């Protein structure tokens, strides 16, 4: 039977590419999203992948959402913690709401989701967890103390959980994307975008598929010895 993969924020942007790549690789895929019903419906019509709506920053919603996915598709073998948001401001102007929204959606979500699949994975002796971090969690970014802290937190999270899970056939890794040409990035004015691209030695933005291919590798049996690592996919913009 096909393995089941659950992608948070799997209906748009990088998550959409991850969902499609996993389906193409033979997984039964479920795509979670937060509230953009129109995009989720269009995604499912285009891909045939079902969408499931819940807020990954809410522990109980994750528990209920995962139970629904598992009832419909079977136990989750591969979890991709991809959902994320930004609420940028320099720290001296950042509100507690901006801080909390980014920490709970980008970091606590990894706990909320992983905690609700890890016991099943341990019992079955197999699992793959991939967290989508960011270049800005590796190097920091002006105006993003919340986002950089959350994304760096995910890297620490996978290092610790990888050690706890290694004996149970479960690998836990992060991917740190650089600038990816999602709708949001492509909407940046052309002159600003040109300045960003000039800082990327490969000379182009990343594509969502560049990240998706990394996820497919980390989810595969071929990657069973890769755990606790962070795969940097950024066109050499930041090497660490």
Q: Take residue 31 and report the two structure tokens written for it.
A: 């795509």
Q: Which is nearer to ligand NDP, 130 or 132 (CB)?
A: 132
27 has catalytic annotation: no
Residue 129's SS3 state is: strand
Sign of the alpha-carbon dihedral angle for 139, 150, 35, 53: positive
Can you tell me which of 182, 214, 231, 232 binds ligand NDP, judged by CB under 6 A? 182
Can you tell me which of 6, 25, 34, 231 binds ligand NDP, judged by CB under 6 A? 34
Query: Under the criterion CB under 6 A, does residue 15 sit at the interface with ligand NDP?
Result: yes
For the bound state, the minimum distance from the C-beta of residue 130 to ligand NDP, rounded and expressed in Å, comes to 11
Query: Within a 13 Å sphere around the CA of 161, how many CA atoms are in the beta-carbon half?
Result: 26
CB atoms < 10 A from the CB of 67, how many?
Answer: 11
Q: Which stretch binds ligand NDP (CB under 6 A): 51-59, 121-129, 190-198, 213-221?
A: 51-59
Of 82-141, which residues contact ligand NDP (CB under 6 A)? 82-85, 105, 132, 134
DSSP of 195-230, one letter per residue?
HHHHT-TTSS-B-HHHHHHHHHHHHSGGGTT--S-E
Closest Cα to residue 32, out of 18, 88, 21, 178? 18
Burial class of residue 8 in the structure, from the number of CB atoms within 10 Å of its CB (0-12 exposed, 13-18 middle, 19+ buried): buried
Query: Under the criterion CB under 6 A, does residue 19 sit at the interface with ligand NDP?
Result: no
Mark 189-228 with x for binding to ligand NDP (rule: CB under 6 A) and - for no binding.
Answer: ----------------------------------------
For the bound state, the minimum distance from the C-beta of residue 36 to ligand NDP, rounded and expressed in Å, comes to 3
Contact 3, 25 (CB under 8 A): no
Q: Which residues are catalytic?
A: 147
Q: Give residues in contact with ligand NDP (CB under 6 A).
A: 8-9, 11-15, 32-36, 39, 55-57, 82-85, 105, 132, 134, 177, 179-180, 182, 184-185
């Amino acid at each position: 039977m096909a393995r089941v993969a659950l992608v948070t924020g799997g209906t748009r942007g990088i998550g959409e590419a991850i969902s499609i790549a996993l389906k193409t690789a033979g997984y039964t895929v479920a795509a979670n999203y937060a509230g953009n019903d129109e995009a989720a419906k269009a995604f499912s019509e285009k891909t045939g992948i079902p969408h499931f709506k819940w807020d990954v920053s809410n522990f109980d919603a994750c528990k209920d959402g995962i139970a629904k996915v598992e009832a419909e598709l079977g136990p989750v073998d591969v979890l991709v913690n991809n959902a994320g948001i930004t609420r940028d401001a320099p720290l001296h102007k950042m509100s507690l709401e901006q801080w909390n929204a980014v920490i709970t959606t980008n970091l606590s979500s990894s706990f909320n989701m992983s905690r609700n699949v890890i016991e099943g994975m341990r019992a079955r002796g197999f699992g793959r967890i991939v967290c989508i971090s960011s270049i800005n969690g590796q190097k920091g970014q002006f105006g993003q103390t919340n986002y950089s802290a959350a994304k760096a937190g995910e890297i620490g999270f996978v290092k610790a959980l990888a050690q706890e899970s290694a004996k149970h056939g479960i690998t836990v890794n992060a991917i740190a994307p650089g600038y990816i040409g999602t709708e949001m990035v492509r909407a940046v004015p052309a002159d600003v975008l040109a300045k960003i691209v000039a800082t990327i030695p490969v000379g182009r933005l990343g594509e969502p598929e560049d990240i998706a291919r990394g996820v497919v590798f980390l989810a595969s049996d071929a990657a069973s010895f890769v755990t606790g690592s962070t795969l940097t996919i950024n066109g050499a913009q930041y090497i660490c």
